[in-house]
Amino acid sequence: MTVLVHPQALENFKVRDFQMLIDGKWTNGSSGDVIERKSPGHGVVVSRYQAGTKVDAERAIAAARVAFDTGPWPHMTGAERSNILLKAADLIAARADELAYLDCIESGKPISQAKAELGGAVDIWRYAAALGRDLHGESYNTLGEGTLGVVLREAIGVVSIITPWNFPFLIVSQKLPFALAAGCTAVVKPSELTSGSTLLLGEILMEAGVPSGVVNIIVGTGPEVGAPMTTHPHVDMISFTGSTGVGKLTMANAAQTLKKVSLELGGKNPQIVFPDANLDDFIDAAVFGAYFNAGECCNAGSRLIVHRDIADDVVARIAALSAKVKVGDPLDPQTKVGAIITPEHLAKINAYVRNAASSGATISHGGELLNLGMGQFMSPTILSAVQPEMAIAREEVFGPVLSVLTFETLDDAVRIANSIDYGLSAGVWSRDFDTCLMVGRKVRAGTIWMNTFMDGASELPFGGYKQSGLGRELGRHAVEDYTETKTLNMHIGSRKVVWSVN
């Protein structure tokens, strides 16, 4: 179901101008250039940012370096940092509607989804604040009477945080509060397509009491701003979320100075469905998993691996539900699928669908570019008769496109699931929990959902196998990722002479 975007909505837009945050001050970029962001759902300019350059990145890195080396933040108690993060969480909650609105109009995601993401982000900030009080090392008093070993956990230093456009506020919230809880300072580069909510976060953090220079936020392109953030010798760690291709470049850049790297990259996530599954639950999860955030989601359930005996019925039922999914104005609370991020990305998604059809796949539903009066939209799309070797079954499309493959045995399903370069997440559906556990143990992915899909919690680690990334976000060890360990090996009393000198 599609609904036109109403031109009357344009009357409510006011272009918002943003500056960069460097060393606790809002400032213009060194070039004087400006980036204008058009709403993908409405086709009008909604935000203007200062366009950062290498000079601005270096200023921000210098501020973060000084704040870490000489400022109070790393030396505060865990309780002091935790209290500031808790205040930030409260302020985020108080401004959640404003933040959600910015994410909605800049990314094209439905406003109802953006508000739900803000609720999740608030929980993450509070969880990180709690972990900041529990960060600790180890002691060893079993090394002999004359030896005591203490292992400290110290903040790693300056962290470059680079985030994508598909979940602007949620993903920065999966990184920044944990870095801050550990005592690190940061330079944050949001996507130049969706920087508004992250810049607003800068206002919130200053109000919460984060000292100057601890969090610096600059906007710009990858070559101009992202590159120096990944190569500069004063940066100690990089936390990046984005495409696998850019993740590989980030890792290569970091290798020049052997920085620690955390990468959350792409996915081509399967849902494996056995004949005894609760199909009512599965059909809903399949549609949600494929079309959530218009499929512009690394965790999207974009591959269905369905037992051959039920494949035709599953495709027909998914198509019937897909036809009821509301595509339209992102600002409409009833919208389920909003706009595609850019015209160029829409063309890329469409090319994948056309190529799959020409290679023998069947378009069982959708496959159309939608003219809703303004903005760029695509219909929810189902491709059946997909073969494992096709590009549509192996590459990340990042759009509302679902590929359906079939299997006959459990081993066949696992082989198909593991046959690609990605390993971010997967789902398995069966009333037989032995089947679920066998699949869960054999599929190489960071998260396996059993009889559900795309559930999550701040307590559960998130990350991937293979080319889906390195490291984990969230979970009780997330703060530890932003630390180094230091061993203090202490000798008590006189040291035993090993080399005598005569």
Q: How far apart are CA 500 and CA 478, in angstroms?
A: 48
The amino acid that residue 321 corresponds to is L
Classify residue 2 by its DSSP letter: B
SS3 labels along 17-32? EECEEECCEEECCCCC
From 298, 396, 436, 473, the catalytic residue: 298
From 264, 296, 396, 473, the catalytic residue: 264
CB 401 within 8 A of CB 302: yes
Q: How far apart are CA 392 and CA 383, in angstroms?
A: 9
Q: How far apart are CA 104 and CA 108, in angstroms?
A: 5
Q: Is residue 71 helix, strand or coil?
A: coil
Q: How far apart are CA 46 and CA 15, in angstroms?
A: 4
Q: Across 341-498, where does the E strand assignment appear?
A: 362-365, 369-370, 377-378, 381-384, 401-407, 422-423, 425-429, 447-450, 465-466, 469-470, 483-491
**58 is known as an active-site residue:** no
Classify residue 6 by its DSSP letter: P
CA-based nearest residue to 240, from 205, 273, 214, 266:
266
Judging by DSSP bridges, how do beta strands 425-429 and 447-450 pair with one another? Answer: parallel
**Burial grade of 201 (CB within 10 A; 0-12, 13-18, 19 or more):** buried
Which residues neighbour 169 within 8 Å (Cβ) at sequence distance 6 or greater?
A: 99, 103, 117, 118, 121, 197, 198, 201
**436 is known as an active-site residue:** no
CB 413 within 8 A of CB 439: yes
CB 193 within 8 A of CB 106: yes
48, HSE (Cβ side, Cα atoms, 13 Å): 11
How many other CB atoms sit within 10 Å of the CB of residue 138? 11
129 phi, psi to nearest 5 deg? -60, -40
Cα dihedral: 135, 171, 168, 423 (round 10): 170
Angle of helix 311-322 relative to helix 279-291, nearest 10 degrees, comes to 60
CB 448 within 8 A of CB 460: no
Which residues are known catalytic residues?
264, 298
